[in-house]
Amino acid sequence: MSAFLTVHNLSAVLHGFDQRVLRSVSFSIDTGEVLGLVGESGAGKSMIGKAILGILPSAISIIEGEILLDGQDLQKMKPADRRRLIGATAALIPQDPLTALNPSRRIEPQITNRLVDILGWIKSDARVRAMELLNEVHIDNPERVMASYPHELSGGMRQRVLIASAFAANPKLVIADEPTTALDVTVQKQILRLIRELQARHSTAMVFVTHDLGVVSKVCQRLSVLYGGKIIENSSVPDFFQGPKHAYSRALLAATPKYTDPDASLLPVDEAVIEAVAAEVLAADKEWRHGA
Amino acid sequence: MKLLRAILVRLATMSVTLIGAAVVVFFVIRVVPGNPIAMMLPPGASEEDIARLTAHYGLDKTIFQQFGIWLSGVFQGDFGTSISLRQPVMPLVLGRLPATLELAIFALVIAVVIGGALALTGVRHRETRTETAVDVANGVGLSIPDFLWALILIVLFGVLMPIFHISGRISPSLDLPFVTQFYVFESLFRLRFDLWWDLLKHMFMPALALAIPLAAIISQLLKQSLKETMHLDYVTLSRTKGYSENHVILSEALPNAVLPTLTLIGVQFTFLIGGTVIIERLFSYEGLGNMAIDAVINRDLPLIQGIVIVFALLFTIINLVVDMTYALLNPRLRHA
């Protein structure tokens, strides 16, 4: 089976700065597979998702590499075609359900608008589909929710709506950008189960961006650890949790809070490890410059 | 029930505002020096004549007695008689009000169209030279006051390229069939486009002079709030759905970004109506503002009072309309 999404040698820079913020990132995902992108804040994990979906901030631009979505090179497409391809085949589950819904619009059009405006569905069909989806995300009274405004729903409900909206057009690729970070712990578990459920049912390829290794162990098959916009380690999930190869990955795993060991949990990642991984990233940069 | 209560509360506050305005204007114009009797009589009038005329207009009574008489008249719909024009105040004022309203509304429409277009252009091409050009235009529009714009426009389109009329409301040579004072609306209603066009040619420059500073304010605020909205998550999310930049701006960002601008337009529109006083004078436009200046020059106390009350009523109504529109556009306020 060929990969649905391939990112090859992707580098990006922040305008006005010499250093890259994404450093020759490569990975690929097959249909039905979930890849976790893990790293600390600022490691560039969300940025990869944004680059794929074409929503990088204007101050960041891609300088090299390819993103192949369904076999088509996004960088080489016309902007309008790229937009349509992404809208038809990919979807985003955003981080913060409180800000990701348009406050002045009812829920129904926010689920169905892609179907109607981009994919040319009839309104009544889109409405039936929205009902179906809201059932799939276990919302008991879909009619009422569809007629509501975002401010009338709880955070958990809104995230369900956003998940329903993401899966509306049967996307082949879903990018989940820390979808549970803004939710409280009990809701987190429900939402996580829900995302996994829908991903499995629709056998969607998924990029799961998170800083939480616990979440990765539950949702993903493979993971990539990022530091400074560079992939430090690629691994299958079982292998990783048995023993990560890279020292930084080990340190990251050790930093995960454990209820059984409350004192150890608050130790930050060892400085020596950080220095080593930073040096590694810089060395790779030097090599890249020589190559270029 | 809730709605009814809200409306009653609103009406109560409106009446307090109006009474406040009435009290302030009544006492202030009587405290400042200058009196209408002196303006009416020729130099060298006898003490007797002055006393008789003063008594005739009730100006010999104490200020509180005068206020009582005036207020009891107002409650019966009688705002007194103009001293300089010797006619009842209210018909005079209401006769002029439509001219000013038409001018102000025309100016508002121009301001919203220009300001909105500038803001949208600036946001569509943000962080490019086009946005800089919009910023410069806003700066120029804001830093020159409306009466100066009036003079600039008169020089440009009245003298150098005389395509618009520089004075009056309608050409006096035209045959006027009007029964209301809303000439612009009535001429459309009667399908008299020749009259309508003549009216617009008269209104265009005063309206534009009033509109430019407001357009600049609208453009600046709307552009700012659009730019902030463009960074919000729901806007970004709609991009991933395959929408074009234009659609994202117009249908995702604009409905939310327009709310603060709407409040501002309400406040600024009242300033614009204040601005009509000078602008109408400059263009000899026969509206309420022009009448207000004559009333002040002639110390026509009843007329000044009448005009101020009507202006105050206008302002409270505008505020009400703005609040209602705001509630209508913002679902978070609708149930509150």
Mean pLDDT of each 10-residue bin along chain A, 292 residues long: 86 87 93 93 90 92 93 93 94 93 94 94 95 93 95 93 94 94 86 93 94 92 94 93 88 76 63 85 84 67
Min Cα distance A177 → chain B (Å) is 12
Q: Is B37 contained in some domain?
A: no
CB pair distance less than 8 Å for B240 and A92: yes
Closest CA to B158 of B210, B124, B209, B212: B209
CB pair distance less than 8 Å for B256 and A104: yes
What average pLDDT does the segment B208-227 reach? 96
Domain region containing A125: 5-291
Q: Per CB distance under 8 Å, which residues of B are interface residues toward A?
A: 127, 232-234, 236-244, 247, 252, 255-256, 329-332
Whether pLDDT at B335 is above 60: no
Distance CA A31, CA A62 (A): 25
* Mean predicted lDDT score pLDDT of chain B: 90
- Distant-in-sequence, close-in-space partners of A287: CB < 8 Å, separation ≥ 6: none
CB pair distance less than 8 Å for B240 and A99: no
Tens of pLDDT, residue by residue over B57-67, are 888 888 899 99
**Of the listed ranges A263-277, B105-119, B237-251, the one predicted with least confidence:** A263-277
A47 near B CB under 8 A: no
Q: Is B53 contained in some domain?
A: no
Residue with tokens 């701006």: B249
Q: Which of B237, B255, B332 sits opposite A92 (nearest CB)?
A: B237
Residue A212 — φ and ψ, nearest 5°?
Answer: -105, 105
Cβ atoms of A27 and A233 closer than 8 Å: no
What average pLDDT does the segment B128-139 reach? 96
- Distant-in-sequence, close-in-space partners of A82: CB < 8 Å, separation ≥ 6: A54, A74
Which ipTM did the prediction report? 0.90
Higher pLDDT, B117 or A1: B117
pLDDT of residue A10: 94
CB pair distance less than 8 Å for A94 and B236: yes
Radius of gyration for the alpha carbons in chain B, expressed in angstroms and rounded: 24
pLDDT of residue A274: 84
Letter for the amino acid at A149?
Y
Closest CA to A192 of A215, A175, A211: A215
pLDDT of residue B114: 97
Provide the number of structural domains found in chain B: 1
pLDDT of residue B142: 93
What average pLDDT does the segment B139-148 reach? 95
Long-range CB pairs of B25-29, under 8 A, 24+ apart, other chains included: B25/B304, B25/B305, B25/B308, B25/B309, B26/B66, B26/B67, B26/B70, B26/B305, B27/B63, B27/B67, B29/B299, B29/B301, B29/B304, B29/B305
Q: What CATH code is carried by the domain that includes residue A160?
A: 3.40.50.300
CB pair distance less than 8 Å for A92 and B252: no
Q: Is B192 contained in some domain?
A: yes
Domain region containing B205: 96-298
Q: Which of A87, A100, A101 sits opposite B242 (nearest CB)?
A: A87
Provide the pLDDT confidence category of residue B175 given band limits of 50, 70 and 90. Answer: confident
Q: Which of A80, A100, A114 sits opposite B233 (nearest CB)?
A: A100
Residue with tokens 């202030």: B28
Whether pLDDT at B336 is above 60: no
Furthest CA-CA distance within chain B:
87
A104 near B CB under 8 A: yes
Cβ atoms of A97 and A159 closer than 8 Å: yes
Closest CA to A55 of B240, B261, B310: B240
Min Cα distance A245 → chain B (Å) is 36
Provide the number of structural domains found in chain A: 1
pLDDT of residue B248: 95
Q: Which of B234, B247, B255 sits opposite A100 (nearest CB)?
A: B234
Higher pLDDT, B43 or B169: B169
pLDDT of residue B55: 86
Q: Is B76 contained in some domain?
A: no
What average pLDDT does the segment B247-269 reach? 91
Q: What CATH code is carried by the domain that includes residue B224?
A: 1.10.3720.10
Helix (H, G, I), strand (E, B) or coil at A31: coil
Distance CA A40, CA A42 (A): 6
**Of the listed ranges A61-70, A100-109, B219-228, B324-333, the one predicted with least confidence:** B324-333
β-strands A90-93, A173-177 pairing: parallel
Provide the pLDDT confidence category of residue B103 given band limits of 50, 70 and 90. Answer: very high
